Amino acid sequence: MITRDAFDTLADALLAEARGGEVLLLGYYAEDTDFARLNRARLRQAGHVAQRELHVELIDGARHASADIQLQDDAQADLAQARAELASLRELLPQLPEDPYLAYAEEVRPSESVADGELGAREAWLDAIAASTGDLDLVGLLAQGVQAHGFANSLGQRNWHAAASFNFDWSLHAAGGRAVKSRYAGSRWNPEQLTARIAAARRRLDALARPTQTPATGHHRAFLAPAALGELLDLLGWGGFGLKSLRTGQSPLQRLADGRHTLHPAVKLREARAGSPTPGFSAAGYLLPAEVSLVEEGRFGSALAGPRSAREFGVDVNARMEAPEALEMDGGDLAEADVLATLGDGLYLSDLWYCNYSDRNACRITGMSRYACFAVAGGELAGPLAPMRFDASIYDLLGDGLQALTRERERMADASTYERRSTATQHLPGLLVDGFPLTL
C-alpha cells in the first residue's frame, strides 16, 4: 500500500545528510497497479506491479548531479542505498561544469492532493466484459490502481500527490483484419458506462461487414471522433505549446502565437491538472497552476514553461514539461446522437495513425485513417473506409473548416506503460469539419 509516511521517513533521514551550501532535491514515484490482458474477451494474463522510485539530485552552486534508485520498501535498505548514491554524487559534482540554466524552487510552498476513486474489483470488470462481449473477439488491456508523486528538498519543502485511476484500452476484431478500437478511462468505474461503450463498438463492428468504400481524393465533409482529434493534438503538443520552441521559432504554432493566424473562436484548449493523475508540482519543486490557458477563443494563450526555459527567458514556471499532460478542450452544441444526421454525406473518422508533419511551419499534418473509419451517406454508415491518407492544416481543421463541436467529451488516458504507467490524459469533444483533404 502506498503511504506518504514511507516517503517522509526516507526524506527526513536523507535530507539531514546535506552539507554546508549543498541543496538536495528528492523526487518520489510509487504505483500499485493491477493489469489484465484479454483475448477473445477472456482473461489471458493477470499481474500486479508495485514499484517505488527515488530521484536524488545534489546541487552545489551551479553544479548538479542526479541518480535514480529503485526502492525495495525496506526502510533501512532503501536509506543505505540512497546514502551510497548521495556519496557518489558528492564525489562526481566537482568534476562537472556549471549549468547556466539550473533552476529549482527556492521558495518553500508545500502541497498535498489525494484523489480517491472507485476502481472496481478486477473480477467485476472481467464479469462485465464477458457478459457484454462473450461472443466477440475482444483484445484489450486493463490497468487500474494508485499512483503517487512526492517531492522534498533540504530547504524545507514537501509536496505529495496521489490519485486512483483506471484505463481499459480495447478493440473488437472482425474477419479480414478489421477492428473497432475503443477506450474507457477515469477514476470512478461505472459498469453501465462500460456496457454502453461496448454496445456502441459492437454497432460499428456490424457496420464493418458492409462493402468497403473508397472515396475520391479531395476535400470532404468529415467528423473526427475524440480519439482522432486526440491523435492530432498529441502530435501538436510536442513543440507546439513549449516556451523554448516558441522563443526559438521552431513551434508548428508559431504563426498562431505571433498573431498571423487565428483558429475558430469556439476553440478553447487548456492544460487542466486539477483532478487528473498528473501532479501539480514539478521535479524541481515548483508549484504549478491548476490550469494554463493554451488557446482562448481561437487565439494563442500562454506557453508551457518548464524550469530551464523559464530561467533562460525570465518567466514563471507553469509546467513540468513543455508538452500538455492533462489537455482539455471545451465542447460545443452538437449532440453526439445527432452526429451522423448532421454530417449527412462524408467521412466518420474514429481513429488516425502514423501522424507526422508534412509542413511544420504551416502546421500541416499527414497521416492515415485507421480502425473503424466509415463513409457516410444520407446520415448512415455506408461502409468501412479503405485506408486513406490525409494532409491537413490545423489552421484549416480548427479554423475556417470547423463546423461544430460535440457537447459530450471523452476522457482518454495514455495507455503507455513503458517503465511506469503514464499519467497523461486528454478530455476532448469530437468535431465536424468541412474540407478534410484526402490525398490518396
d(CA 16, CA 334): 58
Burial status of residue 83 (CB atoms within 10 A of its CB: 0-12, 13-18, 19 or more): middle
Domain extent listing, the chain: 4-207, 218-438
Q: What is the pLDDT of residue 352?
A: 95
Work out the mean pLDDT of the chain and round it to a whole number. 95
Which three cell numbers, joined as nine digits, stand for 45?
494474463
User: Mean of the pLDDT values across residues 206-218?
Assistant: 92
d(CA 392, CA 230): 15
User: Mean of the pLDDT values across residues 313-317?
Assistant: 96
User: Mean of the pLDDT values across residues 111-139?
Assistant: 89
Q: What is the pLDDT of residue 148?
A: 97
CATH class of 4-207: alpha beta
Q: Is 229 left (phi over 0), alpha (psi -120 to 50) or beta?
A: alpha
Assess whether pLDDT exceeds 80 at residue 417: yes
End-to-end C-alpha distance for the chain, whole angstroms? 53
User: Mean of the pLDDT values across residues 11-35?
Assistant: 96
Q: What is the pLDDT of residues 226-260, one digit of tens each?
A: 999 999 999 999 899 999 999 999 999 999 999 99
Q: Using the CB atoms, write b or e for 188-225: b if 16+ within 10 Å.
A: ebeeeebeebbeebbebbebbeeeebebeeeebbbbbb
Band (176; pLDDT cuts 50, 70, 90): confident
Q: What angle do CA 159, 12, 310 make, to 5 degrees?
A: 40
Report the DSSP beta bridge partners of residue 159. 111, 151
Q: What is the pLDDT of residue 145?
A: 95
Q: 503511504: which residue's cell? A: 3
Q: What is the pLDDT of residue 440?
A: 83
- Alpha helices for 145-293 (secondary structure H): 191-207, 226-240, 243-247, 254-257
Contact by Cβ (8 Å): 22, 59: yes
d(CA 23, CA 90): 11
d(CA 66, CA 21): 17
| 191-207 and 122-133 helices, crossing angle to 10° | 30
Band (267; pLDDT cuts 50, 70, 90): very high
d(CA 129, CA 42): 8
Q: What is the pLDDT of residues 42-100, one digit of tens each?
A: 899 999 999 999 999 999 999 999 999 999 989 999 999 999 999 999 999 999 999 99
Assess whether pLDDT exceeds 90 at residue 275: no
Q: What angle do CA 266, 269, 272 make, to 5 degrees?
A: 140
Picking from 206-215, 219-228, 390-399, which range would have the lowest pLDDT averaged per residue? 206-215
Picking from 76-80, 196-200, 287-291, 347-351, which range would have the lowest pLDDT averaged per residue? 196-200
- Alpha helices for 72-175 (secondary structure H): 75-92, 122-133
Q: What is the pLDDT of residues 152-175, one digit of tens each?
A: 999 999 999 999 999 999 999 987
User: Mean of the pLDDT values across residues 347-364?
Assistant: 95
d(CA 264, CA 432): 12
